Structure 1
Amino acid sequence: MKQPIPETGLAAQMQRGNLFSDKCPSREVLKHVTSRWGVLVLLALLNGEQQRFSALKRKILGVSEKMLAQTLQQLESDGFVARTVFPVVPPHVEYALTTNGVLIARQVVGLADWIEENIDQVIQAQKQYQAQQIAGPQHWQS
Protein backbone atom coordinates (compact mmCIF):
# COMPACT_ATOMS: atom_id res chain seq x y z
CA MET A 1 0.00 0.00 0.00
CA LYS A 2 1.37 3.36 -1.02
CA GLN A 3 1.95 5.84 1.85
CA PRO A 4 0.85 9.45 1.30
CA ILE A 5 3.68 11.89 0.77
CA PRO A 6 3.77 14.42 3.61
CA GLU A 7 3.15 17.96 2.48
CA THR A 8 5.93 20.46 3.04
CA GLY A 9 6.37 24.18 2.65
CA LEU A 10 3.42 26.50 2.20
CA ALA A 11 0.83 23.71 1.79
CA ALA A 12 1.73 22.23 5.18
CA GLN A 13 1.72 25.66 6.82
CA MET A 14 -1.71 26.43 5.39
CA GLN A 15 -3.11 23.18 6.84
CA ARG A 16 -1.73 23.66 10.34
CA GLY A 17 -1.44 27.41 10.79
CA ASN A 18 1.49 29.41 12.09
CA LEU A 19 0.97 31.16 15.42
CA PHE A 20 4.21 33.10 14.98
CA SER A 21 2.83 34.88 11.92
CA ASP A 22 0.91 38.07 12.64
CA LYS A 23 -1.29 37.29 9.64
CA CYS A 24 -2.33 33.78 10.69
CA PRO A 25 -5.97 33.47 11.82
CA SER A 26 -4.96 30.88 14.41
CA ARG A 27 -3.39 33.68 16.44
CA GLU A 28 -6.79 35.34 16.87
CA VAL A 29 -8.32 32.05 18.02
CA LEU A 30 -5.46 31.61 20.49
CA LYS A 31 -6.23 35.08 21.85
CA HIS A 32 -9.90 34.17 22.35
CA VAL A 33 -9.17 30.85 24.04
CA THR A 34 -6.35 32.03 26.30
CA SER A 35 -7.75 35.39 27.33
CA ARG A 36 -8.55 35.60 31.03
CA TRP A 37 -12.30 35.43 30.41
CA GLY A 38 -12.01 32.90 27.57
CA VAL A 39 -10.23 30.40 29.83
CA LEU A 40 -12.75 30.91 32.61
CA VAL A 41 -15.79 30.57 30.31
CA LEU A 42 -14.40 27.34 28.84
CA LEU A 43 -13.75 25.94 32.32
CA ALA A 44 -17.17 27.07 33.60
CA LEU A 45 -18.96 25.29 30.74
CA LEU A 46 -16.84 22.13 30.86
CA ASN A 47 -19.28 20.39 33.22
CA GLY A 48 -21.42 19.63 30.16
CA GLU A 49 -24.54 21.45 31.27
CA GLN A 50 -26.13 24.33 29.42
CA GLN A 51 -25.92 27.49 31.48
CA ARG A 52 -27.67 30.80 31.37
CA PHE A 53 -25.75 34.06 31.08
CA SER A 54 -26.63 35.04 34.65
CA ALA A 55 -25.34 31.69 36.00
CA LEU A 56 -22.05 32.17 34.17
CA LYS A 57 -21.76 35.73 35.50
CA ARG A 58 -22.29 34.47 39.07
CA LYS A 59 -19.74 31.68 38.58
CA ILE A 60 -17.02 33.84 37.01
CA LEU A 61 -16.51 36.46 39.69
CA GLY A 62 -15.26 39.83 38.50
CA VAL A 63 -16.35 39.61 34.86
CA SER A 64 -18.51 42.46 33.60
CA GLU A 65 -21.63 41.76 31.55
CA LYS A 66 -19.98 43.42 28.55
CA MET A 67 -16.83 41.26 28.75
CA LEU A 68 -18.81 38.06 29.33
CA ALA A 69 -21.06 38.79 26.35
CA GLN A 70 -18.05 39.65 24.16
CA THR A 71 -16.18 36.51 25.23
CA LEU A 72 -19.19 34.27 24.60
CA GLN A 73 -19.63 35.82 21.14
CA GLN A 74 -15.96 35.27 20.29
CA LEU A 75 -16.03 31.65 21.45
CA GLU A 76 -19.31 31.09 19.61
CA SER A 77 -17.84 32.55 16.40
CA ASP A 78 -14.86 30.18 16.75
CA GLY A 79 -17.23 27.22 17.09
CA PHE A 80 -16.44 26.47 20.74
CA VAL A 81 -19.70 27.64 22.32
CA ALA A 82 -23.26 26.93 21.21
CA ARG A 83 -25.96 29.47 22.02
CA THR A 84 -29.51 28.16 22.33
CA VAL A 85 -32.42 30.61 22.31
CA PHE A 86 -35.70 29.32 23.72
CA PRO A 87 -38.84 30.91 22.21
CA VAL A 88 -40.38 32.17 25.45
CA VAL A 89 -41.14 35.57 26.91
CA PRO A 90 -38.89 36.91 28.27
CA PRO A 91 -36.24 35.38 26.00
CA HIS A 92 -34.30 32.52 27.54
CA VAL A 93 -30.75 31.88 26.27
CA GLU A 94 -28.38 29.14 27.36
CA TYR A 95 -24.76 28.40 26.48
CA ALA A 96 -22.89 25.10 26.21
CA LEU A 97 -19.65 23.85 24.76
CA THR A 98 -19.64 22.29 21.31
CA THR A 99 -17.62 19.14 20.63
CA ASN A 100 -14.64 21.32 19.67
CA GLY A 101 -15.30 23.46 22.72
CA VAL A 102 -14.97 20.42 24.98
CA LEU A 103 -11.73 19.44 23.24
CA ILE A 104 -10.15 22.88 23.61
CA ALA A 105 -11.44 23.27 27.19
CA ARG A 106 -9.74 20.00 28.13
CA GLN A 107 -6.47 21.49 26.88
CA VAL A 108 -7.01 24.58 29.02
CA VAL A 109 -7.65 22.45 32.14
CA GLY A 110 -4.00 21.41 32.25
CA LEU A 111 -2.87 25.02 32.27
CA ALA A 112 -5.38 26.03 34.96
CA ASP A 113 -4.52 23.00 37.11
CA TRP A 114 -0.80 23.72 36.89
CA ILE A 115 -1.31 27.34 37.95
CA GLU A 116 -3.52 26.39 40.89
CA GLU A 117 -1.16 23.62 42.03
CA ASN A 118 1.92 25.84 41.81
CA ILE A 119 0.51 29.21 42.87
CA ASP A 120 2.69 29.34 46.02
CA GLN A 121 5.87 29.06 43.92
CA VAL A 122 4.60 31.69 41.49
CA ILE A 123 3.77 34.11 44.31
CA GLN A 124 7.22 33.55 45.82
CA ALA A 125 8.85 34.29 42.45
CA GLN A 126 6.76 37.48 42.13
CA LYS A 127 7.87 38.63 45.59
CA GLN A 128 11.53 37.97 44.76
CA TYR A 129 11.19 39.86 41.49
CA GLN A 130 9.55 42.83 43.22
CA ALA A 131 12.28 42.88 45.88
CA GLN A 132 14.94 42.92 43.15
CA GLN A 133 13.18 45.80 41.39
CA ILE A 134 13.08 47.82 44.60
CA ALA A 135 16.78 47.08 45.26
CA GLY A 136 17.66 48.64 41.92
CA PRO A 137 19.23 47.40 38.72
CA GLN A 138 21.68 44.57 39.02
CA HIS A 139 25.06 45.18 37.44
CA TRP A 140 26.85 42.28 35.87
CA GLN A 141 30.41 41.79 37.01
CA SER A 142 32.95 40.22 34.74
Structure 2
Amino acid sequence: MSLLVNVSAVAIGGRGVLIEGPPGSGKSSLALALIDRGAKLIGDDGLTLARSGERLVASAPPNVEGLLEVRNVGLLSYPVAQAAPLCLILRLDPEAPRFVDAAEWVAIEGVTLPLIRLWPDSPALPLRAEAALRCWGLDA
Protein backbone atom coordinates (compact mmCIF):
# COMPACT_ATOMS: atom_id res chain seq x y z
CA MET A 1 0.00 0.00 0.00
CA SER A 2 1.29 3.46 -0.82
CA LEU A 3 0.22 7.06 -0.42
CA LEU A 4 0.35 9.60 -3.24
CA VAL A 5 0.16 13.31 -2.45
CA ASN A 6 -0.55 16.26 -4.72
CA VAL A 7 -3.05 14.20 -6.71
CA SER A 8 -6.82 14.04 -6.92
CA ALA A 9 -9.09 11.27 -8.12
CA VAL A 10 -12.71 10.77 -9.09
CA ALA A 11 -14.76 7.78 -10.16
CA ILE A 12 -16.75 8.01 -13.37
CA GLY A 13 -19.06 5.06 -13.82
CA GLY A 14 -16.99 3.05 -11.34
CA ARG A 15 -13.72 3.78 -13.19
CA GLY A 16 -11.07 5.64 -11.23
CA VAL A 17 -9.37 8.63 -12.84
CA LEU A 18 -6.19 9.89 -11.21
CA ILE A 19 -5.53 13.60 -11.80
CA GLU A 20 -1.97 14.77 -11.39
CA GLY A 21 -0.05 17.95 -12.03
CA PRO A 22 2.01 20.56 -10.24
CA PRO A 23 0.51 22.52 -7.33
CA GLY A 24 -1.95 25.11 -8.61
CA SER A 25 -2.42 23.39 -11.98
CA GLY A 26 -6.14 22.79 -11.46
CA LYS A 27 -6.39 19.21 -10.19
CA SER A 28 -9.08 20.02 -7.63
CA SER A 29 -10.88 22.29 -10.09
CA LEU A 30 -11.05 19.50 -12.65
CA ALA A 31 -12.29 17.10 -9.96
CA LEU A 32 -14.97 19.66 -8.98
CA ALA A 33 -16.09 20.07 -12.60
CA LEU A 34 -16.27 16.30 -13.07
CA ILE A 35 -18.25 15.93 -9.82
CA ASP A 36 -20.67 18.53 -11.18
CA ARG A 37 -21.07 16.26 -14.22
CA GLY A 38 -21.84 13.16 -12.11
CA ALA A 39 -18.46 11.80 -11.00
CA LYS A 40 -17.87 10.79 -7.38
CA LEU A 41 -14.91 12.07 -5.39
CA ILE A 42 -12.34 9.45 -4.42
CA GLY A 43 -9.83 11.83 -2.85
CA ASP A 44 -8.23 15.23 -3.12
CA ASP A 45 -4.61 16.10 -2.36
CA GLY A 46 -3.84 12.58 -1.27
CA LEU A 47 -4.73 9.01 -2.21
CA THR A 48 -4.07 5.60 -0.82
CA LEU A 49 -3.25 3.04 -3.50
CA ALA A 50 -3.49 -0.69 -2.98
CA ARG A 51 -2.85 -3.44 -5.48
CA SER A 52 -5.72 -5.88 -5.98
CA GLY A 53 -4.67 -8.59 -8.41
CA GLU A 54 -3.64 -6.83 -11.61
CA ARG A 55 -5.48 -3.61 -10.65
CA LEU A 56 -4.59 -0.59 -8.55
CA VAL A 57 -7.41 0.55 -6.29
CA ALA A 58 -7.53 4.16 -5.08
CA SER A 59 -9.18 5.40 -1.90
CA ALA A 60 -8.90 8.46 0.31
CA PRO A 61 -6.94 8.43 3.54
CA PRO A 62 -9.43 8.67 6.44
CA ASN A 63 -8.33 12.17 7.48
CA VAL A 64 -9.32 13.71 4.09
CA GLU A 65 -12.13 11.40 2.98
CA GLY A 66 -14.94 13.36 1.34
CA LEU A 67 -13.08 16.67 1.41
CA LEU A 68 -12.26 18.74 -1.67
CA GLU A 69 -10.40 22.03 -1.60
CA VAL A 70 -12.35 24.54 -3.66
CA ARG A 71 -9.95 27.40 -4.25
CA ASN A 72 -11.18 30.76 -2.94
CA VAL A 73 -14.11 29.01 -1.19
CA GLY A 74 -12.74 26.49 1.29
CA LEU A 75 -12.59 22.83 2.19
CA LEU A 76 -15.98 21.34 1.26
CA SER A 77 -17.58 17.93 1.79
CA TYR A 78 -18.73 15.78 -1.13
CA PRO A 79 -20.16 12.27 -1.46
CA VAL A 80 -17.39 9.78 -2.12
CA ALA A 81 -16.73 6.61 -4.02
CA GLN A 82 -15.21 4.46 -1.28
CA ALA A 83 -12.62 2.95 -3.62
CA ALA A 84 -12.31 2.42 -7.34
CA PRO A 85 -9.90 0.69 -9.70
CA LEU A 86 -7.69 3.21 -11.46
CA CYS A 87 -8.39 3.12 -15.19
CA LEU A 88 -6.66 6.31 -16.40
CA ILE A 89 -4.14 8.91 -15.33
CA LEU A 90 -4.70 12.48 -16.48
CA ARG A 91 -1.68 14.77 -16.22
CA LEU A 92 -2.42 18.48 -16.37
CA ASP A 93 0.41 19.78 -18.52
CA PRO A 94 0.66 23.16 -20.29
CA GLU A 95 2.95 21.43 -22.84
CA ALA A 96 0.40 18.68 -23.63
CA PRO A 97 0.45 17.63 -27.28
CA ARG A 98 -2.42 18.82 -29.43
CA PHE A 99 -3.04 15.35 -30.83
CA VAL A 100 -2.15 11.88 -29.56
CA ASP A 101 -2.08 8.59 -31.44
CA ALA A 102 -1.97 6.54 -28.27
CA ALA A 103 -1.84 6.90 -24.52
CA GLU A 104 1.47 6.89 -22.72
CA TRP A 105 1.86 4.09 -20.16
CA VAL A 106 3.02 4.54 -16.56
CA ALA A 107 3.77 1.87 -13.97
CA ILE A 108 2.67 2.48 -10.37
CA GLU A 109 3.14 -0.25 -7.78
CA GLY A 110 3.81 -2.69 -10.64
CA VAL A 111 0.52 -1.91 -12.40
CA THR A 112 0.68 -0.26 -15.83
CA LEU A 113 -1.90 2.46 -16.49
CA PRO A 114 -2.66 4.66 -19.51
CA LEU A 115 -1.74 8.33 -19.16
CA ILE A 116 -3.08 11.24 -21.16
CA ARG A 117 -1.70 14.78 -20.86
CA LEU A 118 -4.32 17.54 -20.95
CA TRP A 119 -3.77 21.25 -21.43
CA PRO A 120 -5.10 22.65 -18.11
CA ASP A 121 -6.46 26.01 -19.27
CA SER A 122 -9.33 24.77 -21.42
CA PRO A 123 -12.95 25.60 -20.55
CA ALA A 124 -13.77 22.17 -22.02
CA LEU A 125 -11.34 20.36 -19.68
CA PRO A 126 -13.97 18.13 -17.99
CA LEU A 127 -15.32 17.15 -21.42
CA ARG A 128 -11.80 16.32 -22.57
CA ALA A 129 -11.22 14.28 -19.41
CA GLU A 130 -14.38 12.23 -20.04
CA ALA A 131 -13.43 11.77 -23.70
CA ALA A 132 -9.96 10.58 -22.67
CA LEU A 133 -11.52 8.03 -20.33
CA ARG A 134 -13.81 6.77 -23.12
CA CYS A 135 -10.95 6.55 -25.64
CA TRP A 136 -7.97 5.45 -23.57
CA GLY A 137 -9.20 4.30 -20.15
CA LEU A 138 -9.09 0.70 -19.01
CA ASP A 139 -12.32 -1.16 -18.32
CA ALA A 140 -13.32 -1.41 -14.66
Shared fold (TM-score greater than 0.5)? no
Q: Which has the larger radius of gyration?
A: 1
As a proportion of its length, which structure holds more helix? 1
As a proportion of its length, which structure holds more strand? 2
The higher-RCO structure (CA 8 Å, 6+ apart) is 2
